[in-house]
Chain A
Amino acid sequence: MIPVIVIFVYLAIIAFIGSIAFRQGKENTEDFFLANRSIGSMVFFLSLFATNMTAFAILGSSGMAYRQGIGIFGLMASSSCFVIPLTIFFIGTRLWALGKKFGHQTQVSFFRDRWECNHIGTVIFALSAAMLVPYMIISIMGGGTVLSEISMQNGQPLIPYAVGCAVVAVVVTLNVFFGGMRGTVWVNIFQTILFVCFGMVAVIAISHALPKTFAEYMAGLANDPKTKALVTRERIPPQTFWSYTLIPLSSIMFPHMAIMCFSARRMSAFKRTVIAYPIAIMITWLPCVFLGVLGAAALGKLSDPDGVLLRLLDTYTPVWLAGILGAGIISAVMGSDTHQVLALSTMFTKDVFVHYGGHEKFGERRSVHFARGFIVVVTIIAYLVALALKEKQGIFEIAIRYAFSGFAAMAPVMVAALFWKRSTKWGALAATLFVAFTLAGNAALQGSPQKSTPPVMAAKPATNALATIAAATNQSPNVASTNMPTAKPKEDIIWQFGQGADAVKVLSRAPNGDVRFMNNYMTVVPMVFGSAILMVLFSLVTKPPTDKTIAKYFDV
């Protein structure tokens, strides 16, 4: 009951913040979508971090560390420490400057102007929206599942799934509907503080209650041949480890991240952000990865590895901490969900409604009304889908997994737009269609029947609350996962050259269904390089934008 009370207190705080933001707001799209480009330095950092790092950093990371070992930190966290600040430094600052100078509020509006195109921008919008929508749906699913699981008493949830989904949908809608970007970023401050503090508090609380010291547990894992892999990186193929450094390129291409970059008051806001970002990632992820591995030593085999952190807290800490964790999870779900809803609303209003004449016809004030109406409609649809497809969460989880590769593969388009004068709209179209085609191909390969049947220990689709949240909110594992620390699942080879030790697996499918390329490279590798090559080739053979446009964007 206590976790439920803590969560409802949290929800009340969110609604309160939204109402304050509403009172400060103005009836124009610049204010509603970008808080009048007035976000200060510290708030900008906290909000950008919360937008990017969501519940996966807490629950998913510990669950993955339980299964795969400490390598998860290097795979997902430290690669992000390197790539994300650099993309914010090189791309985010330029987006901010161009947005301020020319009034762009979305990536697509910049592309349209930069490449003098119309419908090609719409194609990019459609792909971005298609990759973003599953996120929103699964956030509502995850929120509903967590609320029902956490309120379980005598096998019956105090808050049924449908009510839980409705609570999350209503609070998110109210927050975005009334608060817009201002309400969203204010909530993010609260959320990031919860995030960053949570891991350290959990480590301290658990260390006091454990029967043995951390050192003894880690030595125990290292000295047992069956578990030694958890304190090394043996379970992660080097090709996968390297491939993963491309995934964080997706970060700046996510519409909600790019739109955040337009909202800063001054460019100096980026200075603190890029320096503090790696430290914040480390503080958030390190305790959770460590606790995940510790859980393997302290708790042994778990039927639900993604729940390892909750099990540790349940076993070794007081009930109030579990309540705060619950609030942290819900806040993470809703923090990202609010940004996604707002980003979709911004994109649809600016890139479709305004672009195709809605603004001239209905005016600025009506555009805000349209945006608010869109928020309500899209959330109702997402809620209905969450109810209707409750048993098919796996579909959305896969969609999200590929969204990371998809957005990463769109990064060359952004880089070309910002840094290469000779780039053209046809290059952008070729790269976008290539990304869409490879995503569809991946989905088809993943969905095709397996040649070899995976053993019982092979990864199962995430069907529980925590796994759903993990998949719902952030960087997807995309590494072969198993339920038990010692399981060795089989992979499915789709296309191979040669035999025996010299064989090259051109296309294979990991036990969790992920498609792999050239001996364990992730599909993000050919996607990013293929997109970049097409961008260059098609740009070179097609007519560049007019000198006037090139001068507009490069003679600054």
Chain B
Amino acid sequence: MMKKCLLFLLITLVYTAHQDFWNWHKADPMIFGFLPIGLAYHAFYAIGCAVMMAIMVKAAWPEHLEKDKTEPPK
């Protein structure tokens, strides 16, 4: 149950982080010298989503759905 709550919290946090209102009117700092902060933030956000999904796969993969291991006919 605790694990489920933590994962739900993780998903909620990542979803909330998408609405980065604090970057709305900002262009600076330019990340790597040329990426406006609002763009760089969402590029890193995409990486964050991949990490979130890796955690989901590790912690909450629905193994029970794979119980039926019959191979499809070749």
Chain A partners chain B: yes
Q: Residues of A with Cβ closer than 8 Å to B?
A: 30, 36-38, 70-71, 73-74, 77-79, 81-82, 85-86, 89, 93-94, 96-97, 100-101, 213-215, 217-219, 221-222, 228, 231-234, 238, 241-242, 245, 265-268, 271, 274-279, 281-282, 286, 289-290, 556
B46 touches A81 (CB 8 A): yes
Question: Cβ of B24: which chain A residues have Cβ within 8 Å of it?
Answer: 232-234, 238
Q: Does B4 contact A (CB under 8 A)?
A: no
Question: Cβ of B53: which chain A residues have Cβ within 8 Å of it?
Answer: 85-86, 89, 274-275, 277-278
A289 touches B66 (CB 8 A): no
A279 touches B50 (CB 8 A): yes
Q: How many chain-B residues does the 8 Å CB contact rule pick out?
A: 45
Question: Cβ of B30: which chain A residues have Cβ within 8 Å of it?
Answer: 215, 218-219, 222
Complex: chain A residue closest to B26, CB-CB: A232
Q: A81-B45, A218-B36 are in contact. Are A38 and B56 (CB under 8 A)?
A: no
Most chain A beta carbons < 10 A, residue from B46, B52, B67: B46
Q: A74-B42, A78-B18, A265-B72 are in contact. Are A231 and B36 (CB under 8 A)?
A: yes
Question: Cβ of B50: which chain A residues have Cβ within 8 Å of it?
Answer: 81, 275-279
A97 touches B14 (CB 8 A): no
Q: A36-B74, A234-B24, A274-B53 are in contact. Are A214 and B34 (CB under 8 A)?
A: yes
Q: Bound state CA distance, A376 and B61, in angstroms?
A: 41
Complex: chain B residue closest to A221, CB-CB: B27
Q: Bound state CA distance, A241 and B65, in angstroms?
A: 35
A70 touches B39 (CB 8 A): yes
State which of A233, A268, A556 has its C-beta within 8 Å of the C-beta of B23: A233
B72 touches A89 (CB 8 A): no
Q: How many contacts between A and B, using CB within 8 angstroms?
A: 141
Binary CB contact string for chain B from 10 to 50 against chain A (1 if under 8 A, 0 otherwise): 01001100111101111110100111101101110111011
Complex: chain A residue closest to B56, CB-CB: A89
B43 touches A275 (CB 8 A): no
Question: Cβ of B62: which chain A residues have Cβ within 8 Å of it?
Answer: 93-94, 267
A85 touches B27 (CB 8 A): no
Question: Cβ of A556: which chain B residues have Cβ within 8 Å of it?
Answer: 64-65, 67
Most chain A beta carbons < 10 A, residue from B30, B38, B39, B73: B39
Q: Bound state CA distance, A238 and B15, in angstroms?
A: 15
Q: Bound state CA distance, A414 and B34, in angstroms?
A: 43
Question: Cβ of B65: which chain A residues have Cβ within 8 Å of it?
Answer: 93-94, 96-97, 267, 556
B72 touches A38 (CB 8 A): yes
Complex: chain B residue closest to A216, CB-CB: B34
Q: A218-B30, A267-B66 are in contact. Are A274 and B14 (CB under 8 A)?
A: no
Question: Cβ of B56: which chain A residues have Cβ within 8 Å of it?
Answer: 86, 89, 274
Complex: chain A residue closest to B14, CB-CB: A82
Task: Output the least CB separation between A77 and chain B (Å).
Answer: 7
Task: Output the least CB separation between B53 and chain A (Å).
Answer: 5
Q: A85-B53, A238-B21 are in contact. Are A77 and B46 (CB under 8 A)?
A: yes
B57 touches A278 (CB 8 A): no
B49 touches A78 (CB 8 A): yes
A271 touches B57 (CB 8 A): yes
Q: Bound state CA distance, A464 and B21, in angstroms?
A: 35
A278 touches B49 (CB 8 A): yes
B36 touches A275 (CB 8 A): no
A274 touches B18 (CB 8 A): no
Q: Bound state CA distance, A277 and B50, in angstroms?
A: 7
Q: Bound state CA distance, A232 and B54, in angstroms?
A: 30
Q: A81-B46, A82-B49, A245-B18 are in contact. Are A97 and B54 (CB under 8 A)?
A: no
Q: A36-B73, A231-B38 are in contact. Are A275 and B57 (CB under 8 A)?
A: yes
Q: Bound state CA distance, A214 and B50, in angstroms?
A: 28
Question: Cβ of A217: which chain B residues have Cβ within 8 Å of it?
Answer: 34
Q: A93-B65, A97-B65 are in contact. Are A215 and B34 (CB under 8 A)?
A: yes
Most chain A beta carbons < 10 A, residue from B14, B20, B24, B26: B24
Task: Output the least CB separation between A229 and chain B (Å).
Answer: 9
Task: Output the least CB separation between A233 and chain B (Å).
Answer: 5
Q: Bound state CA distance, A213 and B41, in angstroms?
A: 21
Task: Output the least CB separation between A94 and chain B (Å).
Answer: 6
Task: Output the least CB separation between B65 and chain A (Å).
Answer: 4
State which of A30, A36, A78 has its C-beta within 8 Å of the C-beta of B45: A78
State which of A93, A96, A215 has its C-beta within 8 Å of the C-beta of B33: A215
Task: Output the least CB separation between A252 and chain B (Å).
Answer: 15
Complex: chain A residue closest to B62, CB-CB: A93
B42 touches A279 (CB 8 A): no
State which of A36, A77, A232, A276 has its C-beta within 8 Å of the C-beta of B25: A232
A97 touches B19 (CB 8 A): no
Most chain A beta carbons < 10 A, residue from B25, B64, B65: B65
